[in-house]
Amino acid sequence: MNIELVKKLSNADAVASHEDEVRSILLEELKNYSDEVDFDRLGSAIFHKKGDAQGPRVMVCAHMDEVGFLVRSISKIGMLYVIPVGSVRTFSKFMQGVRVTTQSGKKIPGILNSVYADGDVKDLVVDIGAVSEEEALALGIRVGDMVTFSSECQEYGVDGTFAGKAFDDRLGCYVMAETLKRLSSTEIPNQLFMAATSSEEVGLRGGKTSAYKIQPDIVIVLDVACWGNELVRDHTNNRQIGRGPMLLHYDKTLVPSSRLVNHILKIADENGIALQQDMFSNGGTDGGQAHLSRDGAVCAVLGIPLRYGHSPWSIGSAADVDNAVLLLTELLKSLDKDAYLRTVDFAHGRQS
């Protein structure tokens, strides 16, 4: 795993519709590996690798945005009142290091705190050390400024484990980028579009707009997931780090194509890649919108297991990330016209 690129992506700040930093990293990283680069009007970046013009149009997507906050108001005593952007964990809203990104790009450190009353979190505030509204304004802080956790990505003592913020979904962005690099000298049997999408955490928005622009036949979504109780390591938890990438069979927004799922299982088996087979009882991914574009697309979701999510820190495994890159690379090399037709041969029900 290229830990330096993981660190760069994790340490970048990008809530929904504020993805400039992550988009810039990916544009620089992939400029020599793409035949064309395009954008939707939300800011999703689409990297096109030309392959067989008669093959299917394959869209791979991973979202750039992370959960975070926006400055809502500035009090007379210099406190920044903020509103969550995305579903931030309840107890990640107390005494956490954060940073404000001003319109000029300046980073202002602070402490996020809130009031817990009647089972709910109220009055989220960021203390930047100011004692007046004027001091906050003098730093360049304005209503609408992005606020993100200030955790810095780091390697842990156990071999291959690492921790940081925004792994949802910077690890998906990483897998997408590294896969495109691996395919740089390979003739692929399809038209490949790698979409780094905007605004997934607030309603799967970039998945919808980029799919409308790409018009894919097949959509492969890259995302992450964690289990609610990290002390549980039995058969109910199929999101355990170090046990391989995840293949989803269901979420609230999508029931994936069983034929495409079976094809992915076959590719994983042929390459000796262990897969955790999972379902989401809550939430969804960009696939929920992307697979509904125009007259529909065959869709499947691959995930990277984490410990903890939507919080200042997540823990991941390099082995899981590397195996996700290998699986996606081999999968994309296999998605030719015949493979696609087998996934949509509803009249005869043939299996891939």
CA distance 52 to 342: 18
Q: Which two tokens stand for residue 175?
A: 């897998």
Q: What are phi and psi of 20, to 5 degrees?
A: -55, -45
Q: Which two tokens stand for residue 58?
A: 């394959």
Handedness of CA 307, 321, 246, 12 (dihedral sign): positive
Number of Cβ within a 10 Å radius of residue 146: 25
The residue assigned the tokens 């823990």 is 315
State whether residue 194 is helix, strand or coil: strand
Q: Which of 29, 66, 178, 200 is catalytic?
A: 200
**For residue 82, what are the contacts with CB-CB under 8 A and spacing of at least 6?**
69, 70, 71, 72, 112, 124, 125, 126, 147
Q: Verify whether residue 135 is a known catalytic residue.
A: no
Asked if residue 289 lies in contact with residue 205, where contact means CB atoms within 8 angstroms, the answer is yes
Q: What are phi and psi of 82, to 5 degrees?
A: -125, 160
Cite the active site residues.
200
